[in-house]
Chains A and B, each alone.
Chain A
Amino acid sequence: MSKQDSSFLIRRIHSLLGVIPLGVFLVQHLVVNHFATRGEEAFNQAAGFMGNLPFVIFLEVFVIYVPILFHGIYGIYIAFTAQYKYGYPSTYRNISFLLQRVTGVLSFIFIAIHVYQTRVQVFMGADLDFDLVADIVENPLWLVFYIVGILATVYHFANGLWSFAITWGITQSDRSQRIMGYVSLLVFVIVSFIGIQAILAFI
């Protein structure tokens, strides 16, 4: 592949990591959080199970930290080398192009703060339990921040599925791209519902 450029490979890896493992992890994370709707006890049990998986630190590093840093840092480079064309042509795709980049940067900031407030606190000795999150979202400003953060991350994931399908050459025809657009909207609605219901259960 000597004539091919590394940026091609980096872009393809960037696209792949967004779905596997990051997209899969996002859905899994929100589903596990959803235990909170069944009460404090159920959440503590589920979170305890996830937090005590064997080799958990390696799982975290290779499934979450490394992919997210790669995807996030290269994603910010992509976002800031674009020059958005306002107004013309004013299509859903042109707007979602902008949203994908805005939500990407937003998610990156949100996740950094979220990791500091939860994982880093657990690392420093706090208990991984219901109250860790409940204490944060007690403050309505943090609650709003979390809701916006969840919506941004889920949008970025759902719309990313649409562009993933094009990047890898799965959806080629106009029709398949349009149908994939509906699928990604459906994913956005369902996953956000799970995420919002989960965070509201902590109040």
Chain B
Amino acid sequence: MAENKSIKLSVKRQENPESSPYWEDFEVPYRENMNVISALMEVQRNPVNAKGEKTTPVTWDMSCLEEVCGACSMVINGTARQSCTALIDQFEQPIKLEPMSTFPIVKDLQIDRSFMFDSLKRVQAWVPIDGTYDLGPGPRMPEKKRQTAYELSKCMTCGVCLEVCPNVNDKSKFMGAAAVSQVRLFNLHPTGSMNKNERLDALMGVGGVSECGMAQNCVKACPQGIPLTTSIAAMQRETTFHAFKSFFGSDHQVD
């Protein structure tokens, strides 16, 4: 390795949610085993662009740095992914960094994923256990079911599946694959399934599972390899049954 090797970054920047975006190039000194985040940290340390002008440091989100928190998602050379596992050596330079376009931009590469958390609240993606007394241990979970649920539980709400989805945009209210898959997760849970009808009702509401367009980009893009299209199809089946049961049936509320 040459001593004075450098990394070329091209960053799509935006001052605030209202202002218009612009591209700025940076050149930072190369070190071995760098990732996109450590390169951005270099820019933060010395906020000078490729032309040698002093500029503002680039803003982005990050937390765990080991691809489990989902905070540092961005579009790197055209592909939405986590920047913490994006190793510099694996990319063609200049490395183009853009914020994920599906979400409102806060500043530079920092985006607002509230839409996803609101969807999780709407579908009640949790197991309600709070009460005034100890309910004791819940029912045991069959091992096979646990294995399936474990895969689904890897979702970190990173937003990549929404970014690649053609049906998640300003014109549609579709909640995207992540929230649908979480309904499957919590409906699989023995205690969680006691509230499965409320979750299915939410999935049949505005922006629910029926608005999936089946481009199946989500499952290809998911950094955790979650079987998102199987989850969506599973929820299509559950909501179909739920619709028939709630119209024609009587005792489905307790089953």
A88 within 8 A of B: yes
Rounded to whole Å, the gap between the CB of A16 and the closest CB of chain B is: 11
Question: If the complex has contacts A85-B217, A93-B216, are A5 and B204 also in contact, measured as CB distance less than 8 A?
Answer: yes
Which positions 92-132 of chain B face chain A at CB distance < 8 Å? Answer: none
The answer to whether A173 and B230 touch across the interface, beta carbons within 8 angstroms, is: yes
Nearest residue in B to A165 (C-beta to C-beta)? B233
A88 to B78, CA, bound (A): 8
Question: If the complex has contacts A1-B246, A8-B239, A172-B233, are A85 and B210 also in contact, measured as CB distance less than 8 A?
Answer: no
A91 to B217, CA, bound (A): 8
A54 to B213, CA, bound (A): 39
The answer to whether B214 and A97 touch across the interface, beta carbons within 8 angstroms, is: yes
A-side contacts of B169, CB under 8 Å: 81-83
A29 within 8 A of B: no
Rounded to whole Å, the gap between the CB of B217 and the closest CB of chain A is: 5
A7 to B208, CA, bound (A): 9
The answer to whether A11 and B211 touch across the interface, beta carbons within 8 angstroms, is: yes
The answer to whether A5 and B213 touch across the interface, beta carbons within 8 angstroms, is: no
Which positions 224-243 of chain B face chain A at CB distance < 8 Å? Answer: 227, 229-230, 232-234, 236-241, 243
The answer to whether B229 and A7 touch across the interface, beta carbons within 8 angstroms, is: no
Nearest residue in B to A159 (C-beta to C-beta)? B214
A-side contacts of B210, CB under 8 Å: 7-8, 11-12, 167
A174 to B205, CA, bound (A): 26
Q: Range of interface residues on chain A?
A: 20 to 34
A106 to B214, CA, bound (A): 20
Which positions 137-184 of chain A face chain B at CB distance < 8 Å? Answer: 163, 166-174, 177
A15 to B204, CA, bound (A): 15
Rounded to whole Å, the gap between the CB of A179 and the closest CB of chain B is: 14
A95 to B237, CA, bound (A): 25
The answer to whether B247 and A1 touch across the interface, beta carbons within 8 angstroms, is: yes
Rounded to whole Å, the gap between the CB of A87 and the closest CB of chain B is: 7
Segment from B61-69, B135-143, B160-168, B187-195 that makes contact with A: B160-168
B84 within 8 A of A: no
Partner of B205, one of A5, A87, A166, A169: A5
Nearest residue in A to B236 (C-beta to C-beta)? A169
A52 within 8 A of B: no
Question: If the complex has contacts A81-B172, A169-B241, are A4 and B214 also in contact, measured as CB distance less than 8 A?
Answer: no
Nearest residue in B to A174 (C-beta to C-beta)? B230
Partner of B227, one of A93, A170, A174: A174
B-side contacts of A177, CB under 8 Å: 229, 233
CB-based A-B contact count at 8 angstroms: 112
Interface centre among A1, A5, A11, A84 (most CB of B within 10 A): A5
A125 within 8 A of B: no
A12 to B232, CA, bound (A): 15
Interface 1/0 per residue, A80-121 and B, CB below 8 Å: 111111011101011001000000000000000000000000
A3 within 8 A of B: yes
Interface 1/0 per residue, A2-21 and B, CB below 8 Å: 01110111011000000000
The answer to whether A82 and B172 touch across the interface, beta carbons within 8 angstroms, is: yes
- 20 A-B pairs in the complex with CB atoms less than 8 angstroms apart: A3-B201, A3-B202, A4-B204, A8-B210, A8-B243, A12-B210, A81-B169, A82-B166, A88-B217, A88-B221, A89-B164, A89-B221, A91-B217, A93-B216, A97-B216, A166-B232, A167-B210, A168-B236, A173-B233, A174-B229
The chain B residues found within 8 Å of chain A, CB to CB, are 78-80, 164-167, 169, 171-172, 201-202, 204-206, 208, 210-211, 213-217, 220-221, 227, 229-230, 232-234, 236-241, 243, 246-247
The chain A residues found within 8 Å of chain B, CB to CB, are 1, 3-5, 7-9, 11-12, 78, 80-85, 87-89, 91, 93-94, 97, 163, 166-174, 177
- Return the 8 tightest CB-CB contacts between A and B, nearest first: A169-B237, A97-B215, A11-B210, A93-B216, A4-B204, A83-B169, A3-B201, A8-B204
